[in-house]
Copies of this chain bind each other. A is one copy, B any other.
């Protein structure tokens, strides 16, 4: 869990996302499903904090990230070139226990942590985005034994509509669901009458429990995304 220096091996634009491979031999063997890392791709202090990124995939010596540019930090990450240094702390967050068969529901960049989950089981994957440039990873999911259902809001790929609509429409079996995506999507999924877990997001300071910056409201009181999450039982979460 210490701060490690790695090297970018590749960083390719894939539709609206970037697929980044980082050589960082200390971390992959420790990483489990549901975990994330804190990443910093710059030495200066203007952007003071590292950024949380999900572990989207791993090889024996590398971590893979799927990145969507949001602000300055992710922009800097998206511009990184092979060979450049990058600093990573992790794996962080709670490793989850997965059943043998489960359903994945990913909206947009939310697919990132779900790709990694697909390594630990089989089942169905609902993948959605605004348009086809926000769909990523279907082959990987299929290779891992997941039947993939696609939805785009503009209909440019698969079902025309939101991935939640598609999910409720096509729901093949009542299996535990693991979802990641924008807040409104997770809110709608709270209505699922089965086990449902969601990857939440909150602004983070440290990612390791020392700053109390990542508070999440749950029925059981304030929890911390970085130590109690990032995966929560969605029925316990209080969105407001």
> Could you list which residues of chain A lie within 8 angstroms of chain B, going by C-beta atoms?
44-47
CA distance A47 to B42 in the complex (A): 14
Smallest CB separation, A126 vs chain B (Å): 39
- Chain B residues whose C-beta falls within 8 Å of the C-beta of A44 in the assembled complex: 44, 46-47
Q: Which chain B residue lies CB-closest to A47?
A: B44
Chain B residues within an 8 Å CB radius of A46: 44-46
Can you list 5 A-B contacts with CB-CB less than 8 angstroms, sorted by A residue number? Answer: A44-B44, A44-B46, A44-B47, A45-B46, A46-B46
User: How far is it, in angstroms, between the C-alpha of A47 and the C-alpha of B43 when the chains are bound?
Assistant: 12
Nearest CB of B to A7, in Å:
17
* B-chain residues with CB within 8 Å of residue A45 when the two chains form the complex: 46
A147 vs B212: C-alpha distance when bound (angstroms)? 69
Nearest CB of B to A76, in Å: 9
Q: Which residues of B contact A47 (CB under 8 A)?
A: 44
Docked Cα-Cα span, A44 to B46, in Å, equals: 7
* A46 to B43 alpha-carbon distance, docked (Å): 11
Q: Which residue of B lies closest to A48 (CB)?
A: B46
A45 to B46, CA, bound (A): 7
A81 CB to nearest B CB, Å: 10
**A58 vs B44: C-alpha distance when bound (angstroms):** 32
Give 3 closest A-B pairs by Cβ, nearest first. Answer: A46-B46, A44-B46, A45-B46
For the complex, give the distance between the alpha carbons of A148 and B213 in Å. Answer: 64
CB of A223 to closest CB in B, whole Å: 34
Report the minimum CB–CB distance from A69 to chain B (whole Å). Answer: 15
A91 to chain B, nearest CB (A): 29
- In the bound complex, CA of A148 to CA of B46 (Å): 46
Q: How far is the CA of A64 from the CA of B46 in the complex (A)?
A: 29
From residue A44, how far is it (CB to closest CB) to chain B in Å? 5
CB distance from A104 to the nearest CB of B (A): 38
Give CA–CA (A44, B45) in the complex, Å: 10
The smallest C-beta distance from A46 to any residue of chain B, in angstroms, reads 4
In this complex, the member of A44, A45, A47 whose beta carbon has the largest number of chain B beta carbons within 10 angstroms is A44
